[in-house]
Amino acid sequence: MDLVMLWMGWLLVWLFGTSALLAFASTAQRRGDGEMAFVVGAGFLGGQFLITVWMRLLAFAGLHFGLGTIGLPLLAATAIALAIAWRRHRAALLPDVRDGLAALIGRALPPRLRVVGAALLAWLALRAALLLMEVLRRPLFPWDAWTQWATKARVWYAEGTLVPFVTGLQWLALPNASVWFDAAPHYPATVPLTQVWSAILLGRFDDALVNLPWWLTAVAFGLALYGFLRGVGLRAHVALVGTWLVLSLPILDTHVALAGYADLAMSAYFTLAGLALLRFLRTRSRFEFAVLVLMALACVTIKNPGKLWLAMLVPALVAGLVPKYGLRIAGAMFALAALVALVLTRVGLTFLGYRLQLVFDMPWSGLTEAYFTFANWHLLFYGVVATALLAGRRALAPPLAPLTLIVAAGFAFLMFGFAFTNARQWVEDQSTVNRATLHLAPLIVVWMILAFRAWADDRAKATVAGPADLEAPHEAATSAPAASR
């Protein structure tokens, strides 16, 4: 019965998030292939974040966590959002779902491509099933998970509200205060609150079962990625390949199977913020802007570096809103950011736990091992190099330029952190380098796919234009004698 409650509670969260997004989208027109997949994927992530916001409000109001204070308002909000969404979209909702499923199974594809799509779907389904078994059966295992994240969840569930966490020294100095301590008391509350909701649904704190949101996040993430790729015009089997490339990354699967870290959620929310920005720049829709804002707000409450990751979207936003001068402004922003960063390293500032210092010491050996030697990323970064060579100047041409700027800014952020802060020591031991790169990796995969498509489109245009160019001189030569006669 407790497992049933756990699944029902999280599926209700998913339904609420999806319904809320559809309710906000005021248009009733058909949304096109892949759009429903994106909305459903983003719906879970949005619902997951919003329920933690509600739990914060309960704690602020002095109310305790429970099925009544969380579940009943969630049920009411879902009913309202679902009613609004159905009224606005009932004419298009079911056809959108039907067409999306038909595209997913490759009904319109040739038989060979249909087999490819079916094989990829089966692969993804099998992998998801195996990961689910890991999540539901493995107790809380990763080091940071039970020293920095789930510590808060366990206490907040037992106390029924948010109680403050402090450092060990502060706790010793306040023996009679109602405070707790762990290894990172300054970490945000969003991820632990998802575990609290799982424990409330179960009626107990189970080290394994409270981690179900990690698996659901991966599934929803895959749906959103597939929906985005379909929305930019890729065929269903190509969009499935892109989704598979992301979901098969070894380090991403590790963060699902060894649930408890915040990096999977950070990666999913930042990726969807970036994708929502690209969709907004293309459509100028208030719906896409709402998704962007929702995912951006979630980013800053997942991990402390989320505030900096959001800054990586600013050059892309400028380039998209001011296309004529966007690249120049973005270039100036990169230069200004580099100057400010170097000044801060000269000051010796410590920011978000990272100590800046003006000593360039790039850990080349650790980076080479992480990106090109070890198995955490398959061949991802070999593909990045090849794609960059293929794309060339196309990478800075519309409509690929905003995504290129996000990826470039993300790489610059990572390399600056590895070269000019104490994070370099966590590159050599292969810890932070992989977790931090995971935040950007899905957007790198999307960029590779779209850059390759831009290259392929240009090649196809050149092939089509070639014969016409060869025929033109012949036509001119044959028409000249006629004109002279």
pLDDT for 33 equals 66
- Determine the Cα–Cα distance for residues 163 and 294; give it in Å rounded to an integer: 26
pLDDT for 228 equals 95
- Show the low-confidence residues of the chain (pLDDT under 50): 29-30, 468, 470-485
Q: Which residues contact 399 (CB under 8 A, 6 or more apart)?
A: 281, 282
Kindly state the DSSP code that residue 356 receives in the 8-state scheme: B
- Determine the Cα–Cα distance for residues 440 and 249; give it in Å rounded to an integer: 12
pLDDT for 200 equals 97
pLDDT for 466 equals 58
In a 10 Å sphere around its CB, with 0-12 CB exposed, 13-18 middle and 19+ buried, how is residue 89 labelled? buried
For 417, the token pair is 């952190």
Domain ranges across the chain: 2-261, 305-459
Torsion angles phi and psi, residue 181, rounded to 5: -140, 155
- Determine the Cα–Cα distance for residues 243 and 240; give it in Å rounded to an integer: 5
- Determine the Cα–Cα distance for residues 97 and 91; give it in Å rounded to an integer: 11
In tens, the pLDDT along 76-118 reads 999 999 999 988 887 777 777 777 777 777 676 778 888 888 8
For 424, the token pair is 């370099």
Buried b (16+ CB within 10 A) or exposed e, 189-227: bbbbbbbbbbbbbbeebbbebbbbbbbbbbbbbbbbbbb
In tens, the pLDDT along 282-327 reads 988 889 999 999 999 999 999 999 999 999 999 999 999 988 888 8
pLDDT for 485 equals 35
pLDDT for 471 equals 46
State the alpha helices, DSSP H only, in 361-431.
Answer: 364-368, 380-391, 401-420, 425-428
pLDDT for 31 equals 61
pLDDT for 1 equals 75
Give the side-chain half-sphere CA count within 13 A for 133. Answer: 5
Element (H, E) at 172: helix 168-173
Kindly state the DSSP code that residue 358 receives in the 8-state scheme: S
pLDDT for 25 equals 81
- Cα distances (angstroms) measured from residue 477 to each of 467, 468, 482: 16, 15, 9
